[in-house]
Chain A
Amino acid sequence: MWNFIIRNIAQRLILLVIVSFVAHSFIHLAPGEPSEVDPMNPRMKPEDIAKIRAAFHLDDPLYMQYAYWIRDLASGELKSFKDSQPVLPKIWDRFLNSLPLFILATLLVWTWAFPAGIYGAVFRGGVYDRGTVFLSYALISVPGFFLSYLAILWVVGWFGVPVISIKTFGMEHAESAYKIMDRVWHLVIPSVMAAIGGIAVLSRYVRSQMLEVLSQDYVRTARAKGLEEDTVIYGHALGNALLPFVTMFGLLLPGLIGGSVIFEQIFAWPGLGRLAYEAILSRDFPIIMTLNFIAAVLTLAGTLLSDILYAVVDPRIRLH
């Protein structure tokens, strides 16, 4: 077991180095540079551009830039090109903003997808099953921002509450009940919108997994020995059907960065996804690189976690 974990961590560290290298060369080789964001500005003289390039090490060879980036990241002194703020605290602030959105969306996905998928599988072919399968296809087929705009129009028009951004400004002196409700409204709509795609996809996985288990021999045996249908489904089948999903906890982590760009942009939510978007717009290489790097770390940590969890919950899997 320990042997397996240590070897896996080593493999993933090597992979991480490759990833960071690919990301670095990809971003630096692509055309477009921080010094060229505003080429039409008449006040930008060639010597200014040269000064900027020198300050950001953009004239050094690629491997030196990579070394500078690693050195600054490791010592925590990496600065944003745009506003010279340290990158790590900036990302941490945005991360704290994204966290509630991520947690609520994840909770919604997990509490809705499982019942929907399991009932669909148990009553396969029924009205409910066909309805939910069709609905889940419909929900992954709508462009996310189209649905979000409709939801905003509906919520704002029907309930008369503001939903854009984290909170309403100018409510500092309101009673705390109002403040809390304001926060809840602002949080719920984007979370639901971000969760919808996840619910649709996960419920289909759950359904097919449950169908797979229900066709196994031991379920037939359990039925043959005269057990109640409920005991068969909830006692024998359900646990085994849910087994693979334990591992999905790990795979959720990278969604923190990648999945949220569009939704945070729609709802003007100052989180990680929006930070990434702003960094891309202003060619803020240190932020783009660091976010990519963190996403890769989260992905690798997530797959490691899911491998280990899988081995822990399923005794048939042997690690070697």
Chain B
Amino acid sequence: MSLDPEAMAPPETPWQEFLRIFRKDYQALFGFWVLMLLLVSALAGKALTEWWVVFDPEVVRLTDKFLPPFSVPSPDSLPTDRPFGGIYLMGTDELGRDVFARMFQGSFVSLSIGFVAVGISLGIGILLGGLSGFYGHVKLWCITVDTLIMRFTDAMMCFPTFFLILTAVALLPPSIYTIMMIIGLFSWMGTARFVRAEFLSIREQDYVTAAKALGIPEGRIIFRHMVPNALAPVFVSATIGVASAILTESGLSFLGFGVPPPDATWGNILSDGKGFIFDAPWLFFIPGMAIFVVVLAFNLVGEGLREALNPKLRSR
């Protein structure tokens, strides 16, 4: 009797299964498209504001201060300073800068703060968590690697994160790179802890034993066989991490420790706008709503990924 290879194959690959579940989740799908739109506008914003003068967010037009959205430039303004399309889509701020151009530029800066910060925190978290999970039993002098790393993680978790970030940002010279690094350096603890937990359980799985029995080198076992299996929850927390990094940045901006000018981020447009909440409400509401929608989209996508990647939740 021969086995039919068609019947032996699983009905769908994990990727197909993931797509099937993710597609049914309307909230996550909505978030996904918002993020795609954001990504495109961030890249376009970077390119346009760098090279195309009608999008220059730093042009100061003292004749056009505090114009509401959809208003046309005043006749006194210089013809070279006219905004794109001849109208201020989102109005102008207290220096007559085009809010649309600033939001455009800010989308790239805000997004890159989120991505770089999460990249740093994931890098540290996966490295320390993986070391601790895989080589945890190795003894260095008198304590094990696991004790060393996890006690350090515990020590870092003792500080209130936002307070620590605030202290670091306030003491270090202000720059966009400092903020990215600080947010990343102080938010890796959660990732390290659950990568370690994943590694501890994966290390005991049969396929790892099989790989060892086949004589596959250790590095290959770790990076080719174990890391991909430990990454699903990391991916979820990374998505949510970007959202919280954007929120943290706006909180820092509010306290006056945000990205220094002339770089525009959504956080500092919002916190500059709070002073004009009665006279020029668009300066406050446009960046506020933009942050809200984008962070919400990241959170919804994160939740959708969690549902689609976690087999335990599916069966219910």
Q: Is the CB of A295 within 8 A of B159?
A: yes
Of A43-51, A94-102, A133-141, the one touching chain B: A133-141
Q: Is the CB of A144 within 8 A of B158?
A: no
Chain B: CB-nearest residue to A297: B158
Q: Is the CB of B250 within 8 A of A143?
A: yes
State whether A18 and B316 are in contact (beta carbons under 8 Å apart), knowing that A30-B168, A137-B296, A262-B251 are contacts in the complex. no
User: How many chain B residues touch the partner (CB < 8 A)?
Assistant: 42
Of A178-186, A231-239, A251-259, A307-315, the one touching chain B: A251-259
Give the shortest distance, in Å, between A241 (CB) and chain B (any CB).
15
Other-chain contact of B299, A23, A137, A288 (Cβ < 8 Å): A137
Other-chain contact of A146, B167, B173, B292, B296 (Cβ < 8 Å): B292
Of A71-79, A108-116, A277-285, the one touching chain B: A277-285
Q: Is the CB of B160 within 8 A of A138?
A: no
User: How many chain A residues touch the partner (CB < 8 A)?
Assistant: 47
For A16, the chain B residues whose CB sits under 8 A away are 158
For B299, the chain A residues whose CB sits under 8 A away are 137, 140-141
Q: Is A27 an interface residue (CB 8 A)?
A: yes
For B300, the chain A residues whose CB sits under 8 A away are 137
For B303, the chain A residues whose CB sits under 8 A away are 137
For B284, the chain A residues whose CB sits under 8 A away are 146, 149
Chain B: CB-nearest residue to A134: B27
Q: Is the CB of A149 within 8 A of B292?
A: no
Q: Which of B265-316 contact A (CB under 8 A)?
A: 267, 270-271, 274, 277, 284, 288, 291-292, 295-296, 299-300, 303, 316
State whether A295 and B163 are in contact (beta carbons under 8 Å apart), knowing that A143-B288, A215-B316 are contacts in the complex. yes
Chain A: CB-nearest residue to B248: A143
Q: Is the CB of A145 within 8 A of B274?
A: yes
Chain A: CB-nearest residue to B250: A143
Report Cα–Cα, A121/B147, bound state, in Å: 38
For A163, the chain B residues whose CB sits under 8 A away are none
Give the shortest distance, in Å, between B143 (CB) and chain A (any CB).
12
Q: Which of A236-272 contact B (CB under 8 A)?
A: 254-255, 257-259, 261-262, 265-266
Give the shortest distance, in Å, between B275 (CB) and chain A (any CB).
11
Chain B: CB-nearest residue to A152: B277
Q: Is the CB of A149 within 8 A of B171?
A: no
For A19, the chain B residues whose CB sits under 8 A away are 155, 158-159
Q: Which of B133-161 contact A (CB under 8 A)?
A: 151-152, 154-161
Other-chain contact of B277, A32, A149, A296 (Cβ < 8 Å): A149
Q: Is the CB of B166 within 8 A of A261?
A: yes
Report Cα–Cα, A273/B163, bound state, in Å: 8
Other-chain contact of A281, B157, B159, B170 (Cβ < 8 Å): B170
Report Cα–Cα, A18/B155, bound state, in Å: 7
Q: Is A132 an interface residue (CB 8 A)?
A: no
Q: Is the CB of A143 within 8 A of B159?
A: no
Other-chain contact of B163, A30, A137, A261, A266 (Cβ < 8 Å): A261
For A153, the chain B residues whose CB sits under 8 A away are 277
Interface of B toward A, CB cutoff 8 Å: 27, 151-152, 154-164, 166-168, 170-173, 243, 247, 250-251, 254-255, 267, 270-271, 274, 277, 284, 288, 291-292, 295-296, 299-300, 303, 316
Chain A: CB-nearest residue to B256: A281
Q: Is the CB of A143 within 8 A of B270?
A: yes
Q: Is the CB of B292 within 8 A of A262?
A: no
State whether A27 and B158 are in contact (beta carbons under 8 Å apart), knowing that A144-B251, A149-B274, A149-B284 are contacts in the complex. no
Give the shortest distance, in Å, between B51 (CB) and chain A (any CB).
31
For A273, the chain B residues whose CB sits under 8 A away are 163
Report Cα–Cα, A141/B242, bound state, in Å: 12
Chain B: CB-nearest residue to A277: B255
Q: Is A122 an interface residue (CB 8 A)?
A: no
Proximity bits, A75-108, B CB within 8 Å = 1, else 0: 0000000000000000000000000000000000
Could you list 23 A-B pairs, sorted by A, with CB under 8 Å? Answer: A19-B158, A19-B159, A27-B167, A32-B170, A138-B296, A141-B295, A141-B299, A142-B291, A143-B267, A143-B270, A145-B251, A145-B271, A146-B270, A146-B292, A149-B274, A149-B277, A258-B162, A261-B162, A261-B255, A262-B162, A277-B255, A291-B163, A299-B160
Q: Is A22 an interface residue (CB 8 A)?
A: yes
9 other A-B residue contacts (CB within 8 Å) besides A32-B170, A141-B295: A30-B172, A31-B171, A138-B292, A143-B254, A143-B291, A146-B291, A261-B162, A262-B251, A277-B255
Chain A: CB-nearest residue to B31: A137
Q: Is the CB of A295 within 8 A of B166?
A: no
Give the shortest distance, in Å, between B165 (CB) and chain A (any CB).
10
Other-chain contact of A259, B160, B164, B168, B254 (Cβ < 8 Å): B160
